[in-house]
Structure 1
Amino acid sequence: MRTPISTYRLQIRPELTLQDAAQLTGYLRSLGVDWVYVSPILTAEEGSDHGYDVTDPTTVDPSRGGPEGLAALSKAAREQGLGILADIVPNHMGVATPGQNAWWWQLLKEGRTSKYAEAFDVDWDFGGGRIRIPILGNDDELDQLRIVDGELHYYDHRLPLADGSYSDGDSPQDVHARQHYQLVGWRRADAELNYRRFFAVNTLAGLRVEVPWVFDESHQEIVRWFREGLVDGLRIDHPDGLADPEGYLARLREATGGAYLLVEKILEPGEQLPDTFDCEGTTGYDALADVDRLFVDPAAEEYLDSLDARLRDTEQPADYADMIHGTKRRIADGILRSEVLRLARLVPESLGLPVEKVADAIAEVICCFPIYRTYLPYGREVLEESIGHAAENRADLKAVLEDLKPLLLDRDGALAGRFQQTSGMVMAKGVEDTAFFRFTRLGTLTEVGADPTEFAVTTPDFHERMARRQAELPLSMTTLSTHDTKRSEDARARISVISEAVPEWELFLGTVQELAPIPDGPLAALIWQSIVGAWPAGRGRLQAYAVKAAREAGNSTNWTDPDADFERHLAAAVDAVFDVPEVAAALENFVAELEPYGTSNSLSAKLVQLTMPGVPDVYQGTEFRDGSLTDPDNRRPVDFQARMEALAELDQGAKPAATEESAKLLVVSRALRLRRDRPELFGGYRAVEVRGEAAAHVVAFDRGADTPGAVTVGTRLPKRLEAEGGWRDTSIELTTNVRDELTGATYSAGSVPVGTMLEQYPVALLVPTD
């Protein structure tokens, strides 16, 4: 198996094709990257900028460069000594435009007799033998149907007609009644949809890749990549949606000839990847959470809790456990109720349990779930505990839960299998996409894959976690920014400084809320933190983010029934940043106050991530400072030419200041190059001893195995460090003579003053010279 030393993620789209990526391989090689990591490249919905809505799994998307583009990228990568990691989407297909998806088109045309009836996950009986397609404005709009060129049209929607279902003179409504699908109002999807989706996205229909021929046909192009040596490894999107992730990974490993595999799996604190998963690890959200918390001041938790209580106009801050139970219940009873009802319909009628009671009980178990899903028998004890908690919460459901328990624990049963596919949907929508926009005391903590109740991580805890990572998952990915992060690594690095500047944050928030009030205290905290983290940013970017954040939170407005008056207040607050001098001045002053410490956090977190155990990924463009917010903001085009020119200047001897973007480029390039060129320096992990009054402000580790290796030194809590008098007598203990890859300075074995070592940058990357 070929394995990567590092990766660099590119968002492939019509504006950055595979051919364009091929042109970047020289730069990536110079940057120190080992593998190019590309977003989904199979043919997707026309105009898709992300590629997760695959419409034809048998071809590389022409708009993304087509097979010629993949061949060009592979050739260029090989010439530069680079591998290729490709993102694939086995769980679902894009069905927004049936005419673009031959599988879905045939299913709609032929119904349950179609070959593809086995490929898509449809509950035909519940739909009366028809697939419900929720595209109507409301159910009264059937009079808008038209027959055009042998197809059924509803405005811009085109759908097929079953053979023999149309004769001249038939009304469109009568023809519609004869089809294998039923067009319904979009609001009916919440409770009446009868096909599995990706979360609550109606236009992404679930695939049954556990069926052998479905796997074969949906992976034939992917397998070709490995047969022809075009690609070296795969990132598997959303494996938790699959009926049998373990079996899928085993089949994929075999089909790719034993290739390197990563799963997009979110692990809750303390949760381990099942030993039976035949893959190298996850895409790194667990690592992100550990790194972020290393740069949060634990002393701020009580103060930020107090502020949160005041923003909520309550005596107590938000109870996160209670909050996520409520938000998950909101999802289970709302946009994912159709999935819960489908589970209820799998309970044998012989038990005599009312469907509504069963659905209520199942939803309660899911809402008590502390992880995304089980993989029975792995996680059985978690499921049993969750059933017990549900019974404690709802005594009225205790008897029903006792009847359901053996069914939920039966790994071979239909209910248990589908329950495992469903629990993660509710977790993702209820926690990541709702609670993370409501639990707002510190935006750094509400990132994908993190538990925001873990406020900070001490250096001893961090070292313990990294030693475990080295022992158990040395080839798992590490990351700080992705196409799915709520805020980029640099935005979070600046926001983390708020934990060291609570009085200043309270003053700033009070000022802007008086001048440009957002009438939702917790949301206001989130919006203003995000603006601070992203600044400088354009009006359009911030307006789009604010609306999305408010609707995701769902307290003052939402996606289905937006509150126009609230959203006017929200827009006015964002506009004030640009139009009200007092607000602009308050923002600029607060950002300036945080900036040097945010830069320190950014450089330290990046160096830690790039040198810690695992395979580090750099998300496109983040070798410069990047203040992106949630998608689609984090998928904006990248100015690669500027980065190429800056790297060339660094290599010619330019010395960047610690506050400039090129300082981050220096850290990224030198760390990546060292990992690639000197892999023997990264075979182990141990904490490096630090002594002195400011020892707690240092994170330092040696990556050598049996002999000294690369040593990382980073700064923690820099604002508090400065307030306490700086480094003073703090020293680091070196076991060998070293040279700093960032400055060229050399140090002899023994005790070295940290203040001397970190005089130019808040970080050091030390290499043995003996």
Structure 2
Amino acid sequence: PDLAPALDAVTRRLRDPDDELGQRFPQLSGAVMAKGVEDTAYYRWSRFVALNEVGGSPAHFGTPPAEFHRNAHARQVRWPAAMTTLSTHDTKRGEDVRARLAVLSELPARWAERVSRWTALAPLPDPTFAHLLWQTAVGAWPIERERLHAYAEKAAREASVATSWADPDLGFERAMHAVIDRMYDEPELYAELTAFAAEITPAGWSNSLGQKLVQLAMPGVPDTYQGTELWDNSLVDPDNRRPVDFGVRRELLARLDAGARPAVNASGAAKLLVVSRTLRLRRDHPELFAGYRPVPARGPAAAHVVAFDRGGPGGGRFDRAGAGGGGSDRPGSDRGGFGRAGAVAVATRLPLRLARDGGWRGTRLSLAGNSVTDVFTGRVYSGSELLLDDLLDTFPVALLAPIDSVEAAA
């Protein structure tokens, strides 16, 4: 309290655009944020490293669907031309690494048992950094040994706890590199790490496809960082600036354009399908992405779906009652103030818990009753309600468009 007068005086100056302090402070605050938080604290706070991302907060564990819908609607109204992205040259770990790590939040007890065992088998003097290292390995596995060594050395020095750029502790770094070598060289440890990563990978793929569809279809101008058209297990730079094999991507895209329907597997072709079809639909039919409203789900697994309609404006009212998945935005109503049917994005959330609870079990999406096509599968749906058991039986995501609007995107 005794600092209140001084803080008030400083605040007045910072809010004055003509004050030199107000002009110079932003020049400093960005650098402090980058070096103090993103490049130091994010390597020290290792409770759940998927949250330690540029623009994010380690204290923010997820966003409920209703909050997401409110934010997306506000974005449509206020910043419809702002960029959306999941990866850049500066992200701390690739989007698909984060998507796989998100699975750990669904099995915390099992993860605690695994990481406790591994840190006991291969101890490191800095247990906080060890937790970051094991999460990184699980999120990116299988990863080339030299890439994990390079990442760990940079991460440890950025953290500036056990070692640093200014004063490297070579003893600690030798111990750290020895732990990494044991991941690859000790058969038991290698087998356990490989098996656990394989166990959570399918749910990670589901998260990856869901977040990619949401990012590409939501309000804003979507950006796809080079190489992320397929699964990307990149870590912090320079790892995320490696050459991209565009030949592989062109070949896979040609197969998709020839009619191949990919499995959700290690090839990453399913992600390329989502990226290419969503971007083509946006390019060829921008009128399908002119507004925003949540699409409600009803049933025992309604909490496991995020769905929204980008239909064109017909008054601009946002139906908050429908934002949480159980609202009053019924077929035959004014559709939340939107006059034209648009593209409807549907994504699965928390896939492990969904499977444990028995799947969709008759959960339905409520639409406006138009005939629509899922641009990922080519299947046609009619009626005012869609069973998610049917809609999401091939992929954990769907992108629905009015039946007469999809040929150019197929």
How does the TM-score come out when normalised to structure 2?
0.88
Deviation at 1:538, TM superposition (A): 0.7
Residue 387 of structure 2 is aligned to residue 753 of structure 1: yes
Specify the code of the residue in structure 1 equivalent to 2:303.
Answer: A
**Is 1:767 paired with 2:401?**
yes
Gaps of 5+ in 2: 313-338, 405-410
Preserved contact between residue 511 and residue 586 of structure 1 (Cα < 8 Å): no
Residue 403 of structure 1: how far off its partner (Å): 7.3
Distance 1:406 1:472 in 2: 27
- Name the counterpart of 2:260: 654
**Distance in 2 of aligned mates of 1:681 and 1:573:** 52
Q: Over aligned residue pairs, what C-alpha RMSD do you find?
A: 1.7
SS at match of 1:749: strand
Asked if 1:685 is matched to 2:296, the reply is no
Aligned partner of 1:602 in structure 2 is 208
Q: How far off is 1:713 after superposition?
A: 0.5
Whether 1:593 and 2:199 are equivalent positions in the alignment is: yes
SS in 1 for 2:3: helix
Flag the 1:468–1:415 CA change in 2: closer, same or farther, 3 A: closer
2:32 pairs, out of 418, 426, 435, with 426
Residue 283 of structure 2 corresponds to which residue in structure 1?
Answer: 676
* Residue aligning to 2:332: none
Greater shift after overlay, 513-522 or 628-637?
Answer: 513-522
Asked if structure 2 preserves the Cα contact closer than 8 Å seen for 1:444 and 1:495, the reply is: yes
Q: Which among 164, 177, 189 is matched to residue 571 of structure 1? A: 177
Residue 322 of structure 2 is matched in structure 1 by none
With over 3 angstroms needed to count, the CA separation of the structure-2 counterparts of 1:582 and 1:404, relative to structure 1, is: same
Decide whether aligned partners of structure 1 residues 687 and 537 sit closer, same or farther in structure 2, where only a CA change above 3 A counts: same
Deviation digits for residues 436-483 of structure 1 (CA, Å, limit 9, x no counterpart) = 111221122111011221111011111111000000000000000100
Find 1:714's aligned residue among 336, 341, 347: 347
Q: Is 1:666 matched up with 2:300?
A: no
- What is the identity, as a one-letter code, of the residue corresponding to 2:356? A
Q: Is the 8 A contact 2:142 2:194 kept in 1?
A: no
Matches within 5 A, 1:345-424: 391=3, 408=14, 410-424=16-30
Match of 1:723 in 2: 356
Q: Distance in 1 between matches of 2:9 and 2:357?
A: 61
Partner of 2:69 in structure 1?
Answer: 463
Q: Aligned partner of 1:710: which letter?
A: A
Q: Note if contact 2:373-2:400 (Cα within 8 Å) is conserved in structure 1.
A: yes
Tell me if the contact between 1:738 and 1:749 (Cα under 8 Å) persists in the aligned partners. no
Shift of 1:415: 3.3
1:535-550 maps to which residues of 2 (within 5 A)? 535-550=141-156
- Distance in 2 between residues matched to 1:503 and 1:558, nearest whole Å: 33
* Alpha-carbon distance, 1:752 to partner: 1.5
The share of aligned pairs that are identical, in percent, is 55
Q: Say if 2:86 is the partner of 1:474.
A: no
The amino acid that maps onto 1:694 is A
Compute the displacement of 1:501 (Å): 1.3
How far, CA to CA, are the matches of 1:583 and 1:640 in structure 2? 34
What SS does the corresponding residue of 1:657 show, helix, strand or coil?
Answer: coil
- Which residue in the other structure is 1:147 paired with? none
Distance 1:667 1:406 in 2: 49
| Deviation string, structure 1 residues 646-690 (Cα, Å, up to 9, x no partner) | 111111111210124101111111101111011110000000111
In the TM superposition, what whole-angstrom CA distance separates every residue of 1:384-418 from its partner, at most 9, and x where no partner exists? xxxx7x937xxxxx77x677666555533333322
How many residues are paired up? 376
Alignment partner of 1:702 is 2:309: yes
Are 2:377 and 1:743 equivalent residues in the alignment?
yes
Shift of 1:511: 2.0
| Letter matched to residue 340 of structure 2 | T
Alignment-mate amino acid for residue 578 of structure 1? Y
- Whole-angstrom distance in 2 between the partners of 1:449 and 1:718: 25
In structure 1, what residue type is equivalent to 2:35? K
Cα-to-partner distance string for 1:315-363 (whole Å, 9 max, x where unaligned): xxxxxxxxxxxxxxxxxxxxxxxxxxxxxxxxxxxxxxxxxxxxxxxxx
> 2:286 and 2:142 mapped to 1: Cα distance?
38
Relative contact order higher in (CA < 8 Å, ≥ 6 apart): 2
- Residue of structure 2 in register with 1:621 after alignment: 227
Q: Write the deviation string for residues 722-756 of structure 1: whole angstroms up to 9, x where unpaired.
A: 01111102111121111110111111122211011
Counterpart CA distance in 2 for 1:708 and 1:724 is 33
Do structure 1's residue 443 and structure 2's residue 49 form an aligned pair? Answer: yes
Q: How does 1:28-47 map to 2 (within 5 A)?
A: none
Q: Note the C-alpha offset of 1:708.
A: 0.7
**One-letter amino acid matched to 1:683:** A
Structure 1 counterpart of 2:308, one-letter code? F
In structure 1, C-alpha distance between the alignment counterparts of 2:36 and 2:122, rounded to whole Å: 30
Q: 1:635 aligns with which of 241, 260, 265?
A: 241
Give the letter aligned to residue 279 of structure 2. L
Take 1:504 and 1:767, find their aligned partners in 2: how far apart are those partners? 40
C-alpha contact (below 8 Å) 2:76/2:291 kept by paired residues: yes
SS at match of 1:433: helix
Is the Cα contact below 8 Å between 1:688 and 1:733 reproduced in 2? Answer: yes
Task: Give the aligned residue type for 1:616.
Answer: P
Per the TM alignment, residue 518 of structure 1 is displaced from its structure 2 partner at its CA by: 2.2
In structure 1, the partner of 2:336 is none
Q: Distance in 1 between matches of 2:394 and 2:14?
A: 59
| SS in structure 2 of the partner of residue 434 of structure 1 | helix
Q: Secondary structure at the match of 1:658?
A: coil
CA distance in 1, matches of 2:257, 2:72: 32
Shift in CA distance, 391/737, structure 1 to aligned 2, threshold 3 Å: same
Q: Which one has the largest radius of gyration? A: 1
Secondary structure of the structure 2 residue equivalent to 1:447: coil
Deviates more, 1:616-625 or 1:438-447: 438-447
Tell me how far apart the structure 1 counterparts of residues 119 and 366 of structure 2 sit (CA, whole Å). Answer: 48
